[in-house]
Structure 1
Amino acid sequence: MLTSGGCPKNMLSIKDALEALEGKWKLLILFALSGGPKRFKQISAEVGGITDKVLSKELKALEANQLIRRQVYDTFPPTVEYAITPHGLSLEKVMEELHYWGLSHRKQIIGK
């Protein structure tokens, strides 16, 4: 359990995590990739509702934070595949807890 009282070190680490995962798409993209490497259109279809422009931006940000890797294969036309990194997989417990919290929240707010 984190100590309360707004410890600057705790605040900084939480700020860093939120900056790496900000927005509504990044965790969903990581969740989609947790099942194995995927191509751009596969991610787009699995995440659903995300535009190509936003997906491209989010993939670049996730790659910059070393949460995913982009692999270009020497084919014609070039094949590009995205995969979650070990660093990205370290978020597995966070995603699992968010899943359970989301179920509980939905039940609390919507009653379903």
Structure 2
Amino acid sequence: MSGTHTDVPSMISAPLPSPVPADEHERCPVTDVLRRVGDKWSILVIVLLGRRPYRFNELHRGIEAISQRMLTRTLRALETDGLVHREVFPTVPPSVEYSLTPLGRSLLVPLSALADWAVEHRGDIAAARQASTSDT
């Protein structure tokens, strides 16, 4: 939060040019993170790994509708972003375990806040959607 507007979230009080340039929006770190966690599987993978480390096949079995390819892509992207740690164990065949990094763990707090907000307001959102469809 800004020092002068303690009741206004920092995201809202930050100055923005008008109009917001497309390249600035694309380079924005908030936009980047929201793209990552806003994909179909990342939040679920992060939440599961927030509970404990998982082996690949165990994680795959724990997410009913995800393909092996999509789980691999999701884990690689989260690893590239520094949110997930991949550890290979020297067994025959090699086994791999995934866990959250400290950076990934730090994301659990804001994700939990967003989840709490969504659960708290799901009735309001459903009512607004219903009203919107009945207006057309």
The interval holding the TM-score normalised by the smaller chain is: 0.7 to 0.9
Contact conserved, 1:37 with 1:81, CA < 8 A, in 2? yes
Q: Which residue identity does 1:43 align to in structure 2?
A: L
Distance 2:31 2:97 in 1: 30
Identify the residue that residue 97 of structure 1 maps to in structure 2.
Answer: 113
- Alignment of 1:28 with 2:38, yes or no, is no
Contact conserved, 1:34 with 1:89, CA < 8 A, in 2? yes
- Alignment of 1:69 with 2:85, yes or no, is yes
Q: How much has 1:4 moved relative to structure 2? A: 5.2
Q: 1:54 to 1:34 in 2, by over 3 A?
A: same
Contact conserved, 1:21 with 1:27, CA < 8 A, in 2? yes
Distance 2:31 2:95 in 1: 35
State the TM-score, normalizing by the size of structure 1.
0.83
Identify the residue that residue 6 of structure 1 maps to in structure 2.
Answer: 16
Q: How much has 1:99 moved relative to structure 2? A: 1.7
1:77-96 to 2 correspondences below 5 Å:
77-96=93-112
Provide runs of 4+ in structure 1 moved above 4 Å: none
State the TM-score, normalizing by the size of structure 2.
0.70
Aligned residue pairs, count: 109
- Alignment of 1:15 with 2:34, yes or no, is no
Structure 2: tracts of 5 or more residues without a match: 1-8, 128-136
Identify the residue that residue 4 of structure 2 maps to in structure 1.
Answer: none
User: Share of identical aligned residues, percent?
Assistant: 30
Structure 1, 91-100 or 24-33: larger mean CA deviation: 91-100
Structure 1 residues 47-93: Cα deviation after superposition (integer angstroms, max 9, x where no partner): 33111111110001000001001100000111110010001011111
- Alignment of 1:52 with 2:68, yes or no, is yes
Q: How much has 1:5 moved relative to structure 2? A: 5.1
Structure 1, 47-56 or 57-66: larger mean CA deviation: 47-56
Structure 1: tracts of 5 or more residues without a match: none
